[in-house]
Amino acid sequence: MRTLACLIVAAVFAVASISGARAAPFAYGLAYDELYRVDLGTRDATYVGAAGLYAGRALAAFSGLTYGPNGDLYAVAGTHKALVRINSTTGLGSFVGAFGLAGQGSGQFDALDLSMTYGCDGNFWLTSAIKRDLWKVDASSAVITLVGSTGKQISGLTMRNGRLYGTGIGADQGLYVIDTLTAAATRVGALGLSAPWVEPDFGAEGTLWATLSYNPPENREWSDLARIDVATGVATNLGPITGPERLRYFSMKGLAVATPTCQPAPGGGTPTVASLPLQAPWALLLLLLGVLAIGSRHLRRTH
C-alpha cells in the first residue's frame, strides 16, 4: 500500500504541476516606458521598473512586448523606431539597434504604430498600422527585411505554432492570420470591441490574451485585459488592469504571457511553437488513472 500511496501522491503533484503551467498566472506588460508584472487572474499589476535613457533621451512609447531569444523580454521603442531588450527584474532597457525607419512615419512624432512578436525561426516580426507593412527583424542586429503589405491597420502581433496572428484597429479592427511569405492578412473575425489598440499574446496552453488601450478617442488612460477566441476572433473584456496610481496615466501597449517553446517542424524546416501535451482536464484525469493502474498491477504482483 505504501508504494501505491507514493504513486498517487506523485500523480497528484504531476497534475498540479501541469495545471499550474496551463494557468499562465502572470504576464509582463509595458505602459509607456514602464514594465509591470500582471496577475492574469486578478488583473492586478505590480510595478517592476522603468526603461531608463538612451543617448540622453527616454526610451519612451514602448509597444510590441514579447519574449525573444533565451527567454529575454524585447520591445519596440517607438520614438526611436528601434529594438530594445528589457530586463524583467529591473525594467531597464538596452538598445539593440534601429530599424532604419526614421522619417517614414506620420505627424509631428513620426508615428508608425509599431508592434512586434518573436518567431521560432529566430527572428522577430514587425508591423506598422500606419504603413500597413510587415518586416522580418534580425534578433541580434535589428536589421529589417520587408516582407510585403498586409493591407490592414495591424496594431498587435503574436505567433503560435508557426502561425502569425495580428489584431487590427479602426475600420480593420478584428483578428487576422498573416502569411509570413506574402504578408497578406486574412480576417478571422471581428473582435467586437471599442478599444483603439489591442496587443495580444498567447499563453503556454493556447489562451490568447490581450491588453485593450483607449486613449484616444475615449480619453481613458488605463487599459483592460481581454481574452480572444482564436476560432472566431471574438474578444471578451475581463475588466480593467489595476495597480499603482501611476498606471492610470499610461496605457499598456504591450503584453508578454509565455516564453515560446520550440520544436522541430514535421519533416524538417522552421521550428514551431510547441504547446503543452496535456491541455484539457480529461487528459489530466487520464494521466492520474494511468498511474493508478500501474500501481494496482504492481501491488498484485507483489502479493
pLDDT at 106: 86
Q: Confidence band (pLDDT; 50, 70, 90) for 262?
A: low
Q: What is the CA radius of gyration of the chain?
A: 21
- The residues near 301 (Cβ < 8 Å, ≥ 6 apart) are none
Most confident of 2-16, 231-245, 250-264: 231-245
Q: Confidence band (pLDDT; 50, 70, 90) for 281?
A: very low
Q: What percent of the chain has pLDDT over 90?
A: 50
Q: Confidence band (pLDDT; 50, 70, 90) for 17?
A: very low
Q: What is the pLDDT of residues 238-260, one digit of tens each?
A: 999 988 877 666 788 889 999 77
Position 175 in a domain: yes
Query: Distance (Å, rounded) from C-alpha 255 to C-alpha 75?
Result: 10
Q: 12 or 193: which carries more pLDDT confidence?
A: 193
> Between the CA of residue 205 and those of 92, 134, 209, 288, what are the distances in Å?
29, 27, 11, 19
What amino acid occupies position 65?
A: L
Q: What is the pLDDT of residues 64-95, one digit of tens each?
A: 999 999 899 999 988 889 999 999 999 999 99
Position 146 in a domain: yes
> Between the CA of residue 179 and those of 17, 135, 182, 183, what are the distances in Å?
35, 12, 6, 5
Contact present, 40 and 257 (Cβ < 8 Å): yes
> Between the CA of residue 217 and those of 1, 178, 186, what are the distances in Å?
66, 27, 27
Position 48 in a domain: yes
Contact present, 221 and 187 (Cβ < 8 Å): no
Q: Is the pTM of this model over 0.85?
A: no
pLDDT at 6: 46
User: In which domain, by residue range, is 32 found?
Assistant: 25-257
C-alpha cell read off for 79: 520614438
The enclosing domain of 65 has a CATH number of 2.120.10.80
Q: Confidence band (pLDDT; 50, 70, 90) for 220?
A: low
In this model, does residue 292 exceed pLDDT 70? no
DSSP element (H, E) containing 169 = none
Position 180 in a domain: yes
- The residues near 123 (Cβ < 8 Å, ≥ 6 apart) are 136, 137, 138, 139
Q: What is the pLDDT of residues 97-134, one digit of tens each?
A: 999 998 888 887 788 899 999 987 889 999 999 999 99
C-alpha cell read off for 112: 508608425
In this model, does residue 187 exceed pLDDT 90? yes
Query: What does DSSP assign to residue 120?
Result: T
Q: What is the pLDDT of residues 93-102, one digit of tens each?
A: 999 999 999 8
In this model, does residue 144 exceed pLDDT 80? yes
Position 272 in a domain: no
Counted domains in the chain: 1
The number of residues making up the chain comes to 303
pLDDT at 244: 80
Position 10 in a domain: no
C-alpha cell read off for 278: 496535456
* Mean pLDDT, the chain, whole residue set: 79
Position 287 in a domain: no
Position 172 in a domain: yes
